[in-house]
Structure 1
Amino acid sequence: MSSGGRAGRRLSDFGDSAMARILVVEDERVLAKNVREKLAAHGHEVRIAHSGREATATNAEFLPEVVILDLRLPDTDGLKILPQLKAESPFTNVVVVTAHGNERIAVDAMKAGACEYLTKPVDLDELLMVVGRVVDLQQINDNLTFLKSREEESSGLDRIIGDSEPVRALKESIRRLTRTEVLSLPDPPTVLITGETGTGKDLVARAIHYQGPRRGRPFIHVNCTALPSTLFESELFGHVRGAFTSATQAKRGLFEVAQGGTIFLDEIGHLEADMQAKLLQTIEHREIRPVGATQTRPINVHIVAATNRDLSAAVESGEFRRDLYHRLRVVHLHLAPLRDRPEDIPLLATHFLNLHCRRFGLGAKHFSEEALRALRRFDWRGNVRELSHTIESCVLQADSDVVEPGHLPMPGEGKAADMTIELPHNRVIQMDFERERPTLDEVEHAILVAAFEYTGQNLSRAARILGITREALRYRLNKSMETTRHAQ
């Protein structure tokens, strides 16, 4: 195995079996041989060193994930080479082995960087269990580190898809906000994100965090509707031991967990009145008081809130505090619904198509022009989220590399039943094919009447809009009116 393996290979590369490279540093040759055979039988790659000098040389070349280190070696004390082993390979986990009755030395080793210890005589089954625990824990840490890096890579402005004017303005607002934010500032400006359900408020909140100077600190997402009011204060601000019956130990609140980072208060519009008052106090004083505590604790957290409610209307109706509303909307970002930016639909649809194809391990697909036109005609009441779910369904239904209109969810399956028929000058006719089941004559009648009304009942202008002659329009109108009367 090459000496450069550490940089490109970690425990997470071993898959579900979580096998690892293990260095056994043990001067008792029989014990070392037995340990190697036990570990190798379970798939681990094992090297042996019988002295401190041999251990440091092998460690530098082998770069193990785990070192099993006897603290009594013929040429040195294991405690002396432990820091050297860790310095050479910081990610290495060291399990020390000490003679029975020398637990105090084992404690010193733990302070020096060891993660576990065993006493002699070594039980090989216990050793295998300890190694498995260390390997599994490191794999979890590796996965968390990987996921965190992936989240940072995939949570910036690039995730906000679109080239429409509303999207360009939104991105510029986020850039301006993150450029002016200073990490040491104890009271960064609060941000209120508004928009309909499914417009991507969570995505924008993450972009603000990962685009700014707090990207290396925690991002805590709090769904205000998911927490019962009885637990909300404890979850946000924490509690001390004995604060209430079930408080058997102290707990840090989410504001403290987010210290130095961002706390995202989703669905803030549904916050109850008493919690609105406590949140206002937190924002104004930049401090929290855990439940049952007598002292407050300072916080340095960027507060970002979001809602799909009209908070100004909620303020007027007395459902939401006016002072909290103005505190929250120091920076206000409004997300336009998808129906107001139809030019973004092809970009979004293609993005979701590629995303879901990779997710399901399928080959690349693309939309036909007819399918893209059909997608643009939909009335996306669920906005970007609904579009994503629709494309997910298309990916699973399409039996070719090309997604056609027939692969879109059919009426009765939910997504494509609600449509708008586009006319020139942004004129649209909305049709609900699921509930109304319109006939072709009814659709034609609706289009003719819409054009006629749009032009102020100017027959010539309406005919030009529809691309037919004045006489043809008169004929179609008369026929349409006659058909409608008979239908009634």
Structure 2
Amino acid sequence: MPESMTSTDVPIQTKQILLVEDEVVFANAVKKHLQRKGYSVNLATDLDTARQCYKKNTPDLILLDMRLPDGSGLDLLCEIKSKNTSIEILVMSAYGELEDAVSAMKLGASDYLKKPIDLEELFVNVKKVFEKNDLAQKLNYSEKREQHASEEVNFLGECESINSIRMQVEKISALSQSESGIPPTILILGETGTGKDVVARLMHSKSSLSKKPFVHVDCASLPKDLIESELFGHEKGAFTNANASRAGLIEAAEDGVLFLDEIAEIPIDLQSKLLAVLERRSLRRLGSTKERPIAAWIIAATNRDIQLLVDSGEFRSDLYYRLNVISLTMPALRERDNDVILLANYCATMTSKRYSLEFDGFTDEAIKLIKNYSWYGNVRELKHLIERAVLLNGGGTLDANILGIDINKTSEEESDVNDETTLGEAELRLIKTALERTNRNVSKAARELGITRMALRYRIKKYNL
């Protein structure tokens, strides 16, 4: 099996090396040796060519000779490090150039090798640099994950539909233990605020990928003019202000989990590119011709009627079929029997602990009101309403008044809903209510709805509010 392949038949990303060396015979020997080891190597025999190669495609490592026909390797080292401190540079120096090697180390070179260099020794040093860099990246990912994973993923509920979802999650997560490859793509459906992101995180935490990255992408909040770059990444110079190459969010998931939330909001012209990623398991950054392998487990979610979008031509049918290998449908909170009280108690208890307050439960009237409310915003709306009530009350027992639910308005809203009410109409009603309640304060309304300001602004524009 080639070194660039894993047991899952998904290639790990080939490391790119730029070799800057003017001794042609030695350079060709180094290039062939490293290519046999699975690396991609570009050769530059002078500084000018090296600059052009670097500008065209930023490498993962530069092997840099100190003395070149058109100048000193130190100049190139200093020039590159002033713009990209993270790039690894391994310098090569002949006897009598050790002062240059010391200067190179001070400027940020990873290490130096003294000529003549044994090819196998060179490979060992190259491998060591990459392993050190990979370890640093993994530690960085671990630190970020620890910040978000200090609390266990809580998927609460005792009703039949939630227990069914829980069983399906267990079965799906078990698929990640298989040696046959990446688990199948998952599509999670359900209204706004039903906990689709919680289920995605639960699948990640219970799978064999739990120690690997979980990248949550809110497709609705990505800037329309930058969404392609954000998802797929770009090379230096791909567009105005692209001053450096950057990996996209899909690449950032590495061999972990990529959660594409609100996937129905991806523009139709980019859906074909996403389909190609799913089918070929590779992508091309903006401004690049190089295919980069993708090994992430992809989970997608939407609160919209995606079949209706397919029928209307707003969503590609082939992408829908590719995503819908296994689907889960999250139940609305109003369909979950007594789970609403369980969740309300949990939210109140957690909020009280966070702010060092005492929570003594709900009055009978408050419980009745919580049960009878329709909760169009589902668990997210419940969570934010309970948090607000606990903070306003300063702890203690929460009564019906402190909840701030307008019973008459609730009845009016319920009378407007019938079997023909669409998810979009319900979402529009929620947004209008939140904006009215907050005097069109977008930040406050977004907090009440449990979405980002960008996501709310997108929907305000979408519904022409």
User: Same fold by TM-score, threshold 0.5 exceeded?
Assistant: yes
Superposed, which structure 2 residues align to 1:2-17 within 5 Å?
none
Shift of 1:104: 3.6
Superposed, which structure 2 residues align to 1:198-237 within 5 Å?
198-237=193-232
Question: Which of 142, 145, 149 is matched with 2:146 structurally?
Answer: 149
Shift of 1:181: 1.3
Deviation per residue, 1:422-452 (Å, 9 max, x gap): xxxxxxxxxx9xx9xxxxxxxxxxxxxxxxx
Question: Which of 333, 337, 340 is matched with 1:342 structurally?
Answer: 337
Shift of 1:355: 1.1
Partner of 1:392: 387
Partner of 1:188: 183
Shift of 1:199: 0.7
Question: In the alignment, is residue 240 of structure 1 matched against residue 240 of structure 2?
Answer: no
Task: Please say if residues 183 and 260 of structure 1, whose CA atoms lie closer than 8 Å, have aligned partners that are also in contact.
Answer: no
Superposed, which structure 2 residues align to 1:59-78 within 5 Å?
none
Greater relative contact order (CA < 8 Å, ≥ 6 in sequence): 2
Task: Please say if residues 263 and 301 of structure 1, whose CA atoms lie closer than 8 Å, have aligned partners that are also in contact.
Answer: yes
Q: SS in structure 2 opposite 1:162?
A: coil
Aligned partners of 2:101, 2:282: CA distance in 1, in Å? 44
Partner of 1:281: 276
Q: Give me the identity figure in percent.
A: 37
Aligned partners of 1:144, 1:284: CA distance in 2, in Å? 27
Shift of 1:228: 2.9
Shift of 1:245: 2.9
Aligned partners of 2:141, 2:280: CA distance in 1, in Å? 34
Aligned partners of 2:245, 2:407: CA distance in 1, in Å? 52
> In structure 1, what residue type is equivalent to 2:218?
N
Task: Please say if residues 357 and 363 of structure 1, whose CA atoms lie closer than 8 Å, have aligned partners that are also in contact.
Answer: yes
> In structure 2, what residue type is equivalent to 1:228?
P
Q: SS in structure 2 opposite 1:249?
A: coil
Partner of 1:162: 157
Partner of 1:364: 359
Aligned partners of 2:412, 2:350: CA distance in 1, in Å? 24
Shift of 1:348: 0.2
Question: In the alignment, is residue 306 of structure 1 matched against residue 305 of structure 2?
Answer: no
Task: Please say if residues 186 and 301 of structure 1, whose CA atoms lie closer than 8 Å, have aligned partners that are also in contact.
Answer: no
Aligned partners of 1:224, 1:383: CA distance in 2, in Å? 21
Over the aligned positions, Cα root-mean-square deviation in angstroms equals 3.4
Aligned partners of 1:241, 1:185: CA distance in 2, in Å? 37
Partner of 1:82: none
Distance 1:340 1:147, change over 3 A: same
Aligned partners of 1:410, 1:256: CA distance in 2, in Å? 44
Distance 1:246 1:350, change over 3 A: same
Partner of 2:129: none
Q: SS in structure 2 opposite 1:192?
A: strand
Task: Please say if residues 176 and 209 of structure 2, whose CA atoms lie closer than 8 Å, have aligned partners that are also in contact.
Answer: no
Question: In the alignment, is residue 197 of structure 1 matched against residue 188 of structure 2?
Answer: no
Aligned partners of 1:143, 1:392: CA distance in 2, in Å? 32
> In structure 2, what residue type is equivalent to 1:151?
H
Shift of 1:232: 1.8
Distance 1:211 1:341, change over 3 A: same
Question: In the alignment, is residue 173 of structure 1 matched against residue 162 of structure 2?
Answer: no
> In structure 2, what residue type is equivalent to 1:321?
R
Shift of 1:358: 1.5
Deviation per residue, 1:352-397 (Å, 9 max, x gap): 0011112222123312333212210111111001111111122023
Partner of 1:138: none
Deviation per residue, 1:307-334 (Å, 9 max, x gap): 1110111111111111110111111011
Aligned partners of 1:374, 1:285: CA distance in 2, in Å? 52
Aligned partners of 1:387, 1:192: CA distance in 2, in Å? 24
Partner of 1:252: 247
Q: SS in structure 2 opposite 1:193?
A: strand
Task: Please say if residues 352 and 395 of structure 2, whose CA atoms lie closer than 8 Å, have aligned partners that are also in contact.
Answer: no
> In structure 2, what residue type is equivalent to 1:154?
E
Distance 1:186 1:235, change over 3 A: farther
**TM value normalised by structure 1:** 0.54
Deviation per residue, 1:226-281 (Å, 9 max, x gap): 22343222211211222223222111111211111111111111111111100000
Q: SS in structure 2 opposite 1:225?
A: helix
> In structure 2, what residue type is equivalent to 1:254?
L
Aligned partners of 2:195, 2:384: CA distance in 1, in Å? 14
Question: In the alignment, is residue 319 of structure 1 matched against residue 310 of structure 2?
Answer: no
Aligned partners of 1:166, 1:282: CA distance in 2, in Å? 33
Q: SS in structure 2 opposite 1:239?
A: coil
Task: Please say if residues 193 and 306 of structure 1, whose CA atoms lie closer than 8 Å, have aligned partners that are also in contact.
Answer: yes
Task: Please say if residues 411 and 417 of structure 1, whose CA atoms lie closer than 8 Å, have aligned partners that are also in contact.
Answer: no
> In structure 2, what residue type is equivalent to 1:152?
A
Distance 1:320 1:419, change over 3 A: closer
Distance 1:291 1:185, change over 3 A: farther
Partner of 1:45: none
Distance 1:146 1:284, change over 3 A: closer
Deviation per residue, 1:397-436 (Å, 9 max, x gap): 335622122222143998898579xxxxxxxxxxx9xx9x
**TM value normalised by structure 2:** 0.57
Aligned partners of 1:112, 1:293: CA distance in 2, in Å? 27
> In structure 2, what residue type is equivalent to 1:214?
L
Superposed, which structure 2 residues align to 1:69-108 within 5 Å?
104=102, 107=105
Deviation per residue, 1:31-89 (Å, 9 max, x gap): xxxxxxxxxxxxxxxxxxxxxxxxxxxxxxxxxxxxxxxxxxxxxxxxxxxxxxxxxxx
Distance 1:150 1:168, change over 3 A: farther
Task: Please say if residues 263 and 300 of structure 2, whose CA atoms lie closer than 8 Å, have aligned partners that are also in contact.
Answer: yes
Q: SS in structure 2 opposite 1:365?
A: strand
